[in-house]
Structure 1
């Protein structure tokens, strides 16, 4: 079930942080002078629309008592999901470019500003690829908004999901996230497919048969399951996980998991995917990943871990050309979250931490990371979903960016010994590694 919301986002609220701080604009569309080439916004105007979806008859994880005997019949409910849709808009379209979002504290609502126009008229039918975005635990559909509107301007339709029981305002028992994350992704894919085919204003705008998936942290966990990776038998039995074995539907080798992957999803990107660090993945389960995946991680990720976490997922994934982009010394917030809103810079007594730490990295500038992510995700999706062979050159790199040699002719063409990363200006590809899993 799906309905569109025509309620316009309210105008930005002027929030003065101090007499000298000025107004909090909270832009999500910043492009640094050092941004790599493919980070730049595309030529298409962008619209944004809120959608409300309901997935009927889902297992009601929150109503199951893990300490009690397993009920003869598991309770079910109709699961609500809010989705933010970014899309190419018609030339001359207009709309408010500010929107409201809650912070990590779950109580503070702030205004964010980008380029997407609220409820703008969609462009004409063009069969653009569809991309799903899945946030972390907790998170919300706006956490990767910088990436969503950026790729929409280049000819993608993006559906970013608010995962019930996983948002800042609905955060609940972890078992719900473990069981539902991949199911949410696939349900939203099906609803988006219906929306493109129902003869309405979005009919033919995009092609749901040509879909990519982007996930961050727990969204990355879900993306691996959706891509064909099955969880371990041990993780199904964790007392703090899915109650009474409900996670078993995603166990490697189970009939339910074998039937899960959807051929409409052609590729995926996972930022800091969670699970290897706590035994949810092993070589057997990861061998089931059936689509090429780009993994993006910080080498100092203390949540999903790196060597025994994201890197181990990449190393154990199936024999496909999976790639791993590493930000040296980056943490769990590497590249995915939008810049920290000005109002987030305060210590929250109830949470026990500074709210801005949910968005920032101790070493890397967030906008810098966002721009690099926009560059690589654009190259990855254009090659995988648009069959743009020219974008492959941006992914054929020497492993360590620091080792690149800048050697150019006077006419701007590269010399034979030029090995600097394509798309990066001289001296700007620093602190990065890009590795591609060899395929026998």
Structure 2
């Protein structure tokens, strides 16, 4: 007779071990079908909320539709015939929906479909081109869910997937990444941070020329060339002068002090700017801070680029992680030192974290990204609470909303400082 099995041998009827449960759970999260279902559910939620909030979310889209319809009807186009608040490349996503529909509702539907399609393409690229793409994609969906419907109601919903794609491509195809990020920067300037990060980590002048200068110049030449051919003249670069007259936007990080001061000083007020359709702090103090930010912002970008260059020279084997850190630091800096500070800007800072979670090897480097990953989700949710959930109470000076906004802005400063500190640490400590 065969010997009895050992008493500790597993049997078909015995319960699964914790390790087996974890393995099954991990396999389930890796399922492309489950991830696709989650993508659909998250975006259905965002679209439903956007429809619920209506003009609060689609107000800018209404303006996009007017620009496109006015251009098609009269032949007068932004950039080509008058100064515009966006770079010339923004005409492409703004005009595209109007070519397939004749009314505002149709434009909003096509616009939303465009945002979802771009994000789907970027998410698929993330999943298929990185070692742990599913992990990065799950976090990206959580981030978008926390940020809310503003993602589908602004041009930032176009450039955020472009930032995501560029950072994925930067790992093995820096020239294509530069081209994608440069194209994004000609829609809205923020993706230029990725170009700066890639440039600062190049090995030598020849590498810089091939990976950054040539592809960036080609894309820029196409955009500017088309604008000049359309009669833009100096208006091709008008975006760089359009923000000069603005003061501090109500939600801006630099406006935090003025916002908090409303708790005890009734003289601090927020007023609506009819020219640019936004709420701003008025007064000489706010004007002085806004003017200072005009030169502090570019200095901050230059300083972070210099720090990136130094760290990449010290740790060339960690160049890709430094690209991700530098992109994150610069993108947050573009919010922290920006006198505009619109809520949709937060969409910029999710891609570096999603790509880091998807690509960096397990160990100290990957673990270092989990605290900011949690922090950015909280920042996104805080932004959602401010806009659209309680924007009215915030403008009216409700204490709880002033506190939420202040904490969100403080978190952004901490995230920027943390990314800069991590870059410095990588450069200073060989085994960091």
TM-score, normalised with respect to structure 2: 0.32
User: Whose strand proportion is higher, 1 or 2?
Assistant: 1
The structure whose Rg is larger is 2
User: Whose helix proportion is higher, 1 or 2?
Assistant: 2
